[in-house]
Structure 1
Amino acid sequence: MIAAIENARRDIRMESYIFAADEVGARFVTALAAKARGGLDVRLHLDAFGAGQRSFHNLQRELEGSGVQFRWFRPFRTRHPLQYLQRNHRKLLVVDGREVFLGGFNIRRLNSRRLHGARRQRDTHVRVSGPLATLAIGHFDRLWHDAHQLPASAIPKDPKNMEALLVASYSRHCQHRLACLHAGLIAKAQTHIYLTSPYFGPGIMVDQALQAAAARGVDVRLLVPRKGDPLVASWATKASYAPLLAAGVRIYEYLPRQLHAKTLVIDATWAVVGSANLDYLSLFVNQELVLIARDRTLTEQLQAQYIEDLAESEEITLSVWRRRGWGARGLEAIGRTARLLL
């Protein structure tokens, strides 16, 4: 992404949930500021909760002093306090209207192989180009200008006629469509479903689609982290295990490091990757952006990575899960309650 910014010739649009005031954040600020000073149209849209720490203020002054157009997404306002509950969880970079990066990567040291080493966060980001770049610009600009809600018709009910689509969430109705799109792809699976999500609690629609797929003989696998961040999110995820395992879904807990990737591969044909977790906040509250594509190369790459991840994971079987202690069950009840309160 840094190389793409440094090679930009016309304009740069970027948004992120977390943009840390560390070595990685400073490097991005240096690159963006240099391009703005060179006369390019540079726009940076950051979430006021995820990136709005005091430590970022010096970087903000450098950006604005260099001519970068900078905006916070929904800072806290006493007149509209409930708006603060919706966050911009998207991670997007569009360079010169032709090169797009999106996925799960936040801008921080934890994502850097060079700075954080082998213990860096396990995440997935993709680069796309072509007509999708035009769609990405539209999604960025709509949120930048706080435009009207995306019409529901912009997200198809049935993915069968799609080759690739960038799906964003703007209203509760469209976010429901995002869940419908996931459930629709799962319902069409014939051989396998490989799902990775750091947080899991998608609601009845996706939950039932996964159980139904397993019941009809599809190889359904769910990869989640052994330890979630925060812990209550991990308890909420584990509260979903029992019905999935009983239906035949195979669940794996990733062991070596923090898991943050959000991917779905179906029949080595369909791929979904982006910022959205399969949980209530991502599907029904926050601003998200995902790529849904019927692309053999992408699905093969994601599937190969998935197999590697499973090799570093522990499978949770139904027999073992039924023998868990009352302490674990109590924590799951807390997680389940927290999920319901959302």
Structure 2
Amino acid sequence: MHSIIDTNPSVCGCLESLSIGSESFCVFNEGDALYASMLDSIAKAENSILLESYIFADDSLGQQFCRALIERAMAGVKVKVHIDAAGSLFWFSRGMQNHMRIHGIQLRWFHRWSWRRPWRYNRRNHRKLLIVDNRIAYLGGFNIHKENSRKYYGDDRWRDTHVSFDGTLVAVAAQLFDAFWRGKLRTQPMQKAEGSKLLHNQTLTCRHRLSCVYGEAFSNAKKYIFLTTPYFVPDNHTLRQLCKAAERGVDVRLLVPRQTDVRIARWAARHIYTHLLESGVKIYEYLPRVLHAKTVVIDDNCSIVGTSNLDYRSLFINYELNLATVDQKLAGELKQQFMQDLTLAERILSQVWERRGGLPRWQGRVAMIIKRWL
């Protein structure tokens, strides 16, 4: 089993292989390990490669992926790449786009700017998904850019979480990719009633599905809720369920970054610290580097990992995709990782927080006014 802080990962690079039903899971928290595994899967592709990414950068890492995808496309493998137009606006390049298309890759932009439908541009595809040969899939918070790589970015690389899986769940992932490729944005494939599921936030029956899932999970928690998110700006219902859980004695711990790439989102999160602390929620700020992981572990047997942050944009505006499972081994691995992260975090104490200055209070009020757009 690899150490949670393994700095010399193998090609697999996972914390441990986990199984439930017909699926097995592999968790990644180091970008170099994840990218090595993804590139290895791409290199072995025989039939198809389906890739979605919010950010696909024309940098040293993105170029490595570009070469790997082109090599497979030229070998006759069907390669589809779906990139978010806003997320990759300043990262991807026209040169890389043309290079991919010339060499047989089908590349599509999600919601490019249109004067006819300008409101569409605000609804982003925030999903990060790779499916190879309908055999293995990768899902989580890692984008394709060097900021997640120790090799290319150094010790300040972002801290994130991804999971790979095989089994019947891969077919569901492929259906979700295909639906988005065809513009069917609220399609939800049939899934088995129990075990692991892939959940996206807007379906034909519920436009706020992830908010409903989080709220129900928090309200049913008995022992603990360990929540990691880079941007914590939840809606009132989700916030209320989290506080109610703490008030009834559930050990609720929230881990957010001290360093962030969206400073105003941190202001908004800090504005609601007081309410959380008064309810008994324990808040920790991760210190070493940018924290971009999105995981929830509840009561040793329920876990959620994927692309959605706990903020308005992920819950109600963007298109997201999460893995939700009751597998105890996966929950145990994510819990172990969470506890390791806490050793690198500072706890926010009520008595200290109440003595903060006037500027942070003002920043928080301003951020909360525009919280629905962060």
Fold match by TM threshold 0.5: yes
Query: Which residue matches 1:301?
Result: 333
CA distance in 2, matches of 1:155, 1:311: 38
> Structure 2 matches for 1:293-332, cutoff 5 A?
293-332=325-364
Cα drift, residue 175 of structure 1? 4.0
Going from structure 1 to structure 2, the CA distance change for 1:168 and 1:293 (only over 3 Å counts) comes to same
The alignment status of 1:24 with 2:61, answered yes or no, reads yes
Going from structure 1 to structure 2, the CA distance change for 1:199 and 1:95 (only over 3 Å counts) comes to same
Query: Which residue matches 1:2?
Result: 39
CA distance in 1, matches of 2:133, 2:65: 17
Q: What SS does structure 1 have at the residue aligned with 2:208? A: helix
Contact map agreement 1:175 1:283 (CA 8 A) in 2: no
Cα drift, residue 341 of structure 1? 6.0
CA distance in 2, matches of 1:28, 1:255: 30
The alignment status of 1:335 with 2:367, answered yes or no, reads yes
Cα drift, residue 299 of structure 1? 1.1
The alignment status of 1:99 with 2:131, answered yes or no, reads no
Q: What SS does structure 2 have at the residue aligned with 1:93? A: strand
Contact map agreement 1:172 1:285 (CA 8 A) in 2: no
Deviations 1:261-291 (A, max 9, x none): 0000001111100000000000000010000
Contact map agreement 1:86 1:285 (CA 8 A) in 2: yes
The alignment status of 1:67 with 2:99, answered yes or no, reads no
Which stretch shows the higher mean deviation, 205-214 or 275-284? 205-214
Query: Which residue matches 1:251?
Result: 283
Query: Which residue matches 1:232?
Result: 264
CA distance in 2, matches of 1:80, 1:6: 39
> Structure 2 matches for 1:174-253, cutoff 5 A?
174-253=206-285
Cα drift, residue 141 of structure 1? 0.5
Query: Which residue matches 2:20?
Result: none
Query: Which residue matches 1:144?
Result: 181
Q: What SS does structure 1 have at the residue aligned with 2:93? A: helix
Query: Which residue matches 2:151?
Result: 114
Q: What SS does structure 1 have at the residue aligned with 2:370? A: helix
Contact map agreement 1:150 1:174 (CA 8 A) in 2: no
Q: Give the alignment's TM-score, normalised by structure 2.
A: 0.87
Where in structure 1 do 4 or more consecutive aligned residues deviate above 2 Å?
Answer: 52-55, 148-151, 153-156, 169-175
Cα drift, residue 222 of structure 1? 0.2
CA distance in 2, matches of 1:10, 1:183: 40
CA distance in 2, matches of 1:10, 1:295: 30
The alignment status of 1:128 with 2:165, answered yes or no, reads yes
CA distance in 2, matches of 1:327, 1:172: 44
Of the candidates 162, 183, 186, which is equivalent to residue 194 of structure 2? 162
Cα drift, residue 317 of structure 1? 1.3
Count of aligned positions: 337
CA distance in 2, matches of 1:299, 1:88: 27
Going from structure 1 to structure 2, the CA distance change for 1:90 and 1:55 (only over 3 Å counts) comes to closer
Contact map agreement 1:92 1:103 (CA 8 A) in 2: yes
CA distance in 2, matches of 1:155, 1:251: 35
**AA of the residue aligned to 1:261:** A
Going from structure 1 to structure 2, the CA distance change for 1:85 and 1:36 (only over 3 Å counts) comes to same
Cα drift, residue 169 of structure 1? 2.8
Cα drift, residue 149 of structure 1? 2.6
CA distance in 2, matches of 1:188, 1:338: 31
Structure 2: any 5+ residue segments left out of the alignment? Answer: 1-37
Cα drift, residue 340 of structure 1? 4.9
Of the candidates 75, 78, 95, which is equivalent to residue 41 of structure 1? 78
CA distance in 2, matches of 1:224, 1:155: 32
Cα drift, residue 207 of structure 1? 0.6
CA distance in 2, matches of 1:249, 1:145: 43
Going from structure 1 to structure 2, the CA distance change for 1:145 and 1:18 (only over 3 Å counts) comes to same
Which stretch shows the higher mean deviation, 314-323 or 96-105? 314-323
Cα drift, residue 185 of structure 1? 1.2
Query: Which residue matches 1:267?
Result: 299
CA distance in 1, matches of 2:186, 2:286: 37
Q: Give the alignment's TM-score, normalised by structure 1.
A: 0.95
Question: What fraction of aligned residue pairs are identical, expressed as a percent?
Answer: 42
Query: Which residue matches 2:51?
Result: 14
**AA of the residue aligned to 1:6:** A
When the two chains are superposed, the root-mean-square deviation of aligned CA atoms in Å is 1.8
